[in-house]
Structure 1
Amino acid sequence: ILLSRTNFALALHNTANRSDAVLDEYLSTVCSVDDGRITHIETFLSDVEGMNAFFVPQAHRQ
């Protein structure tokens, strides 16, 4: 967790295995805070294709 006066960020390393797929990616979420409340959340993924391959069934991918 990283903090500033008006924001905080979370960094995660997600890993998982199953018989047909492997997940190994980094995720960062940045939250803006105003008056003690989260006002904006933005998430950044290091491997969108890998996330889709692991979580989205083949029939639903575009």
Structure 2
Amino acid sequence: MLGIIGNVGPWEMAFILIIVLIVFGPGKLPKVAESMGKAINNFKRAKDKEFEELEKEEG
């Protein structure tokens, strides 16, 4: 997933984490992470469903 935005090293990841902590605060960070996980899972399910429908149409 991170390959899309290029090479992200440990310093860049630390910088992003610090910015996220400043913006959301440590109290809301677990809820933000949970929401991101749900969004990614929903995206994957929708993608898989579309691929299945395309395969049914082709076959």
TM range (shorter): under 0.3
Taking CA–CA contacts closer than 8 Å with sequence separation of 6 or more, which of the two structures ends up with the larger relative contact order? 1
Q: TM-score, normalised by structure 2?
A: 0.23
Higher Rg: 2
Q: Which has the higher strand share?
A: 1
**Which protein is richer in helix relative to its size?**
2
User: Normalization by structure 1: what TM-score?
Assistant: 0.23
